[in-house]
Amino acid sequence: DTAVSQTPKYLVTQMGNDKSIKCEQNLGHDTMYWYKQDSKKFLKIMFSYNNKELIINETVPNRFSPKSPDKAHLNLHINSLELGDSAVYFCASSQAGAPRTGELFFGEGSRLTVL
């Protein structure tokens, strides 16, 4: 019974396409995140939502649009994909106030390859 699940795990697509990655958590957490791990291996925060409200929005192109239909889901939609978008995208969840209130739980990652 996976705590944080992401779909799809692998995604290969052409430049210019639009794609979505879905994330669901069954931990009852209030806060969800999207992190990007690029070729340089850094895990960089993209977005954070608390109870469906956007609280962190790092410098991310507006081609990336997160959507949180409820606090258990945080989906990532990417328009007009570019080669530089190729990366592993990790969804995570936590209690509000993390990390001091508790750890972040990560999904297995979704590897996006843009050709």
Partner 1 sequence: DQQVKQNSPSLSVQEGRISILNCDYTNSMFDYFLWYKKYPAEGPTFLISISSIKDKNEDGRFTVFLNKSAKHLSLHIVPSQPGDSAVYFCAASGQAGTALIFGKGTTLSVSS
Chain residues binding partner 1 by CB under 8 A are: 4, 33, 35, 40-45, 48, 55-56, 58, 90, 92, 97, 99-100, 103-109
Q: How far apart are CA 25 and CA 29, in angstroms?
A: 8
In the complex, minimum distance from the CB of residue 59 to partner 1, in angstroms, rounded to a whole number = 11
Whichever of 64 and 105 has its CB closer to partner 1, that residue is 105
Whichever of 18 and 58 has its CB closer to partner 1, that residue is 58
In the complex, minimum distance from the CB of residue 66 to partner 1, in angstroms, rounded to a whole number = 14
The count of C-alpha atoms lying within 13 angstroms of the C-alpha of 112, restricted to the half-sphere facing its C-beta, is 28
In the complex, minimum distance from the CB of residue 46 to partner 1, in angstroms, rounded to a whole number = 9
Q: How far apart are CA 113 and CA 49, in angstroms?
A: 25
In the complex, minimum distance from the CB of residue 80 to partner 1, in angstroms, rounded to a whole number = 25
Whichever of 69 and 99 has its CB closer to partner 1, that residue is 99
Sign of the alpha-carbon torsion through 111, 6, 34, 12: positive
The count of C-alpha atoms lying within 13 angstroms of the C-alpha of 88, restricted to the half-sphere facing its C-beta, is 13
Whichever of 75 and 89 has its CB closer to partner 1, that residue is 89
Helix (H) or strand (E) holding 103: none
